[in-house]
Amino acid sequence: MNSESASNSSPALPQVEVVGDLSKDIRNETKTVPTHPEVVMSARAVYPLGWTRYDLKRGVVLGCALLIILYFLYLVQAILPPFIIAFFLAALLDPSLRQNEKHGKLLKTRTQGILVFYFMGLAFLVVLVTVVAPLAFSQVQEISNNMGTYYSNIVHSANSEMALHSHILKMLGMKETNVNAIISDRSGPVQNAITLFFTSVHGAVQWLVGHFFWLIIIPVAGFFFMRDYPAIRAHMIALFPDQQQEHADRISREVVDVFSAYLRGLAKICALMALCAFILFTLLDVQYAIFLGLLAGLFYAVPYVGNLITATSAATMAYLNPHHFLFIVHIHQHSFVYALVVAVCYVLMANLVFDQLIYPRIVGGSVGLHPVVAIFALVAGATLFGVWGMLLATPVAASIQVILVYMFPRLTEVGEDKLDEPLPDLL
């Protein structure tokens, strides 16, 4: 018998069919592909949410570690706020640093970009403290010194207007004939409101003095958070199961980009509003233009209410003091028409120029919320968390929208084939 016949007579080895990439399914627990069907099925066992046995073990361990970490953080919660603020600042500035690393020509490294941010921030603070702050403080001090005179003028003017239109007030059900009567009848709530205001201011000053060390911790911790943010983020993403890491990476990146773009855009538009309001009030010769400009920039971040506060404050200053309109036309004191002109000019600039033209270009495109959803988010944020809720309502709603779109991709489908009429073209 030759060798060829001997080889043909030997029994054939069983063929084993390997289904899928087993090395990926068992998470690299072994380098050898199992050949027995029962071993294969055990390695490929899938639990809820697509997890494997390895994922469940790792989830239990990470859950226990997370509980221990949370308990430790609860014990040291008093020192956490500056570090949390520094980390969120690092996350918000990360998109700008990534953009610089990708397209930057002069700044080659991430550290150089961070140092440029710090230098620009320091220069801004120096200008703010040495130039703008003293002028604004002197105007605030002058307003405070003249508060008694302003109050008397307002009361006198209000009493004259009430006496002139007393029949209208009676039709509206008001029995008081002057401001003093209104204040005396409601002295309890008015006095409580004044007391609460000064108590809040005193508490805010004490809080700032007591947390002065934050001004040191936040910049130092923020530098290291910004420098190492990509590595920190990669480690946090690695805690998710392997099949969920890509989704966690994309969702977290888009949420951070939304917050960063919104807050950076809001800071730009508030600074631009402060400058434009200062120029407008200077041309109208409204007294305390620097203070009113800073007030306009600060309160523009508060939707709807902020513009009303600034317009009312500017109109009050215009009513109480004489002016020279465009430095030529003299306006006498207590001119209701001139005060109305000042308020209308500011409202037109804020609502038509900024809200309709500048805001959508700088901030609006970074969020992508439907107007009705944005308004609902603002009202809900104000109801739940006050002013801070209004400030953060838009980016939080946009972040929730990003997460919902990833969880339910069909939300982005219009479904025109199911409509009786085609969708209209929007202007």
Output the average pLDDT for the chain. 74
Beta partners for residue 416, in sequence order: none
Q: How far apart are CA 52 and CA 118, in angstroms?
A: 46
DSSP state of 178: S
| Angstrom distance (rounded) from CA 150 to CA 127 | 31
Q: Number of C-alpha atoms within 13 angstroms, CB side, residue 49?
A: 11
1 pLDDT tier (thresholds 50, 70, 90): very low
Nearest to 116 by CA among 275, 232, 223, 2: 223
Distance of CA 130 to the CA centre of its chain: 28
pTM confidence score:
0.64
- pLDDT of 41 higher than 50: no
283, 262, 284, 308: which is closest to 295 by C-alpha?
Answer: 308
Q: What gap in Å lies between CA 226 and CA 110, rounded to an integer? A: 9
Rounded Cα distance, 368 and 228, in Å: 30
End-to-end CA distance of the chain: 91
Pair 77, 210: CB distance under 8 Å: no
Both tokens of 311, joined, read 């317009």
d(CA 93, CA 264): 9
With CA atoms as reference, report the closest residue to 18 among 45, 46, 49, 41: 41
Give me the mean pLDDT over the 321-325 stretch: 69
Percent of the chain with pLDDT over 90: 6
Which tens digit of pLDDT belongs to each residue from 116-140?
888 988 898 888 888 887 888 888 7
What residue ranges do the domains of the chain occupy? 79-146+204-239, 275-415
Nearest residue to 146 (alpha-carbon basis) of 287, 334, 328, 12: 287
What pLDDT is attached to residue 17? 46
Which residues on adjacent β-strands are paired with residue 323? 331
Cite the DSSP H helix spans in 284-370. Answer: 289-299, 305-320, 336-348, 359-362
